[in-house]
Every structure is written in structure tokens, then in C-alpha cells.
Amino acid sequence: MSQPWKTDQWFTSPWNFAPEVRESLHFPEKIRIHDVTLRDGEQQTGIVFRRQEKVAIARKLAEAGVHRIEAGMPAVSAEDEAAIKDIVALGLPAEIFSFARCMPADVKLAKECGVKGIITEIPSSDHIIKNAYGKDMDWAMKSSVETTLAAKEAGLYTVFFTIDSTRSELNRLMDLIEKVATEGHMDAMTLADSFGGCTPQAISFVIGKLRERFHVPIEIHCHEDFGLGVANTVAALAAGASVAHVTISATGERAGNVPLEDTVMALRTMYGVDMGIRTEKLYELSKLVQQLAGFEVPPNRPIVGDSLYYIESGIVSMFHRRCRKVEPLEYIPFAPEMVGRPGVDIALGKGSGLANIEEHLERRGIQATPEQANDILARVKQFSIEHKRLLTGAEFETIMNSVLTPAGAAVK
């Protein structure tokens, strides 16, 4: 691809592919997506996924090409345990994992569910171990060794997950991981920015330190408390981490986990990293989760927001009308169909210009003089200001008719 920043599907910055920029990136040859919507995503306040709803989401994740699905935590409830078993029984192409506390009893439950692997967690910062758990680091180390050995004996792919990694003292974190690496067992480890308080530069630095000391795959799990979750995830992958933990549309506690859509699209269009995810399924996937979770994402939500390509601005509407047949990516960074979302449309509101009016007149096969078009525009703006919203098609037609009919125009 001679111009990877500009294809028939996206148009991003050529600066992303400058040699001086690219030489600092060290993405692994194979990067995998590990979706945690059914466990961490459900921890968003007020979200409840029923058994069959979890199955439906898992099916859609697999259809989209997601590599690993964290189907839940069997210790939470009998229904969660049953949902995990149902998902395993589907025989999906995605690998099915479950989540567990650092307790051998949780490992036993995971094994009974038939999952391929387990994410087993332990708090890793001294302050959270003391203040939130009432324990000490010796407890964390002992529990981690005992549980990871149980997971190994159960034949489960074992990912050691250190809660609050990024607020721990680095050497203490390293010692905890070393204890598990030498006395326990881990097939991979997860660096967790559990409270979203780290920067991409620090994430990259620590990933480098972990890779120097431990020779197992590193997974990255971030939250969006400061809006840096996607940037931190990309930084970790560019530093050599090979698995990204995500949720659909940033579901999750507080500000949510790292969104699947943003991560996949950023990697594909700005870094040239194609993980095989079927991006045309992303909008459909987001809509399903919103429906089942009972919430709506903001209309200007990146990638999947409903008003993302619904243009009100007169200037941008003019861009659209001039460029759509010549260079449609001149005014949008990616083609809507790339993520399976509706195409670009032109709205009518306070911010509209003559281009908006011309568009809606043409759709109706109506001609108007420049004076009439300006009159319609003025009335559209006033209506939008008075009602604090966009106009419907019927409301536009009422205004259009009030301007054109007295002048003898033939309204179709």
C-alpha cells in the first residue's frame, strides 16, 4: 500500500506513517482482541445481561472476528455460570475465557464451565491491598501462587492479572510477578490501569521493563477515567504487548473500559495494524449491546454515534455536496460502510447554510430563487432556535411551502 493513510475506506494523516514515527513502533506480529463486555462491561452501574442476552452478544462478537471472549465470572451467580457454559457449547471460533479471583475454588468453577483459559486477579499495590482488602503483600503473593498452580493443574491457559498495576510501586509489582513466575504459573500477564490514571508514555516504559524481565505475552487492560484508555492501549501494543482488553462502546465501571470500536479502527487506519476484525459489524454490535443493556451512547460517540455523520453545519454540508461524487473522504475520516453504519446525511437546524436548503429542495424536486432559499434558511434557523432542536422533514416542508406557494411555485 503506497499511501496507507489514504484508501477508498479511510483518509487519516500521512504524518502517522513518517519513517521517524514508524521506527518507534514495535507492534507484535500478531495482536489479539480480548473482549470483556460480558464481565467488566456488565459492571457498569445498572447494566444486567440475562443468560440468553450474554449468548447473543457472544455470537455477535465471534461474527465480528473477536479472538477471545471473556464470558463472565462463574462465581457471581448460577445464571452467569450457566451462560458461560452455554457460550462454550456454541463452539464459536473465538476462544472462551472466564474471570476469577485468586482463589482455587474459582478455578474449579472455571474448569467445570469448559473454558479454554482464565484471567485470575490479585490486587498489586500495597495501598489497595491494605485499604480495600485488609491484607498484606504476603497474602497477595501466596494467593497468587496457589491459584495459578491450581489453574495450571486444571489445564487452563492462565493470565495473571494484577489489579491497580499502574498505581503500584514498580519494583513491588515486579516482585509479585516474579513470585508467580518462579513459584506459581502464568502463561501471560496483564498490566491493568484499573483507574485510568496512567499516561501512554508511562505505559510504554513499563511494558518495556516487563518484557525485559519476563518472557511471557503481556496483555493490556485500561479504563477511560481520563479519556486516555485507547491511547494507553495503543501505546502498550506499540511497545510489544500482544493482547488488548476492550468492551463494546466503552461499557464498564465509572467512565468505562477501552472501547472495542475505537481501538480497532485506530489501529487499522492510523497504524496499519489489521487484526482481522470485521469492522463492518461494529455498528450492529454496538446497537445490540445498547439495546440489551438499556442505555444509549452519546450521539457524537466516536465510530458508532448516530449523529456522527449527520451534518448540520452549512460549511460542512457544502463540503459534502461538492465532494461526495469526487472525493467523499475529503470531509470524513472513514467511510460509514466500513463500520456498517448509516451514510452521511444533511440535517436542518440553527447551524445550517444554503447548502442544507439546496439539498433538501433538490430531494423534493423543488426549485427556488436565491431570495426564496435565503428566506427558507432564515425561517429554518429561527424554528431551530425557538424549539432548540433540528427540524423534521414535515416541518421543513411547511416552511418551504409558506415561502414558495405565495410566489406561485409548483410544489410537488
Residues 188 and 334 in one domain: no
Instruction: Indicate the residue among 268, 293, 318 that finishes a domain.
Output: 293
Is 8 inside any structural domain? no
Q: What is the pLDDT of residue 200?
A: 98
Q: Which residue has the higher pLDDT, 243 or 407?
A: 243
Q: Render 114-148 in DSSP notation, one character per residue.
A: T-SEEEEEEE-SHHHHHHTTS--HHHHHHHHHHHH
Single pTM value for the model: 0.93
Question: CB-hemisphere CA count at 13 Å for 393?
Answer: 7
Is 412 inside any structural domain? no
Residues 385 and 265 in one domain: no
Q: What is the mean pLDDT of residues 37-55?
A: 96
Q: How far apart are CA 148 and CA 355, in angstroms?
A: 63
Is 357 inside any structural domain? yes
Single-letter amino acid code for the residue at 101: R
Is 9 inside any structural domain? no
Q: How far apart are CA 32 and CA 25, in angstroms?
A: 17
Q: What is the mean pLDDT of residues 391-405?
A: 96
With a pLDDT cut of 70, the percent of the chain lying above it is: 98
Is 165 inside any structural domain? yes
Element (H, E) at 311: strand 310-311
Q: What is the pLDDT of residue 127?
A: 94
CATH (domain of 135):
3.20.20.70
Residues 187 and 279 in one domain: yes
Q: How far apart are CA 144 and CA 273, in angstroms?
A: 34
With a pLDDT cut of 90, the percent of the chain lying above it is: 96
Q: What is the pLDDT of residue 409?
A: 47
Q: What is the pLDDT of residue 405?
A: 86
pLDDT at 274 over 70: yes
Element (H, E) at 234: helix 229-238
Residues 250 and 362 in one domain: no
Instruction: Indicate the residue among 293, 321, 347 that finishes a domain.
Output: 293
Q: What is the pLDDT of residue 304?
A: 97
Residues belonging to the chain? 412
DSSP 101: E
Strand partners, 331: none
Q: Please give the residue range of the domain that contains residue 245.
A: 14-293
Q: Based on the structure, what is the number of domains in the chain? A: 2
pLDDT at 404 over 70: yes
For the record, the C-alpha cell of 381 comes out as 434557523
Residues 353 and 289 in one domain: no
Q: How far apart are CA 317 and CA 219, in angstroms?
A: 43
Q: How far apart are CA 381 and CA 392, in angstroms?
A: 13
pLDDT at 408 over 70: no
